[in-house]
Amino acid sequence: MKTAVITFPGSNCDRDMWVALRDVSGREPVKVWHGDADLPDGLDFIALPGGFSYGDYLRSGAMAANSPIMRSIKAAADRGVPVLGICNGFQVLTEAGLLPGALMRNAGQTFICRTVTLAVENTQSLFTSRYEAGEQINIPVAHHDGNYFADEETLDRLEGDGRVAFRYVEACNGSRRDIAGILNAGGNVLGMMPHPERAIEDDHGGSDGRRLFESILGELV
């Protein structure tokens, strides 16, 4: 199994993601710089970490979405390679058109940094198979632009197709329908604002995020 973590200028959770993947898979992920034109051969999984790529100028994730590596990531996703975007990575995926909608400024106009409770809405995806339907899990958030927005038609389609992966149990940032994470139509791309990589060991305050990585990495064994 070969995994990769992409680093953009301003990423600050790439090390956290790298450690999570290493600890769960037992193998060291490849580190990929955003300016590289090509991904390493034979990748089984790609992770876009949190942070503040390009200082969140223009819109969060907008500049990173045009980084050279994103062309290769889009091509890999089209081939079915699983791609996970966390926080800023989620923003990059929407800006790059790999996921619908957009992440806007939090409704309260403040940075939110705390642990939130999520409801697992879909347990049939590559990323969520080790959770129970309707299970509530505790995962940290840390964002200023996590307010998920999409038009009603798109929201209805996401709901109808079972592409809402996680939902905030209590209103967090103004996200439409309290959506915390969504899947693409193929089910191999997941974007979410909460940070499962910060919840893989009990010493971190909880390990509810570990099963996300066990789900996807277990599917790849």
User: Could you list the active site residues?
Assistant: 87, 195, 197
CA–CA distance, 217 with 197 (Å, rounded to integer) = 13
Nearest residue to 193 (alpha-carbon basis) of 202, 182, 205, 201: 182
* Token pair in block for residue 139: 């995962």
10 Å CB burial of residue 154 (0-12, 13-18, 19+) is middle
What CA dihedral angle connects 70, 74, 175 and 118, to 10 degrees?
-110
Q: What does the DSSP 8-state code read for residue 64?
A: G
* Token pair in block for residue 162: 């079972």
Strands (E) across 45-198 are located at 45-48, 83-86, 102-104, 112-120, 136-143, 147-149, 164-168, 179-183, 189-192
Containing 156, the helix (H) or strand (E) segment is helix 152-160
10 Å CB burial of residue 130 (0-12, 13-18, 19+) is middle
